[in-house]
Amino acid sequence: MVIDPVCGMEVDPKTAAGSSVYQGQTYYFCSMGCKKDFDHDPEKYLARPAGSPAH
């Protein structure tokens, strides 16, 4: 399990709704909405402390 960087939810990479590669690392998302938000501004979500949800 990995953590969705947008909402902080645990996600199984095998069943994730989407994924994005940013600076050589793959991130997985619980929904396409989270993926879209991340793709628009990845630094916004990576700069937050782990586990602090955006929504």
Per-residue pLDDT at 19: 98
- Does residue 53 carry a pLDDT above 80? no
Closest CA to 1 of 37, 34, 25, 28: 28
- Does residue 47 carry a pLDDT above 80? yes
Which residues make beta-bridge pairs with 18?
A: 29
Tell me the per-residue pLDDT of 3-39, one tens digit each, with 9 for 90 and over: 999 999 999 999 999 999 999 999 999 999 999 999 9
Closest CA to 18 of 35, 6, 42, 37: 35
Per-residue pLDDT at 49: 62
Domain ranges of the chain: 2-45
39 versus 55: which is more confidently predicted? 39
- Does residue 51 carry a pLDDT above 60? no
Per DSSP, the residues of 2-20 read EE-TTT--EE-TTT-SEEE
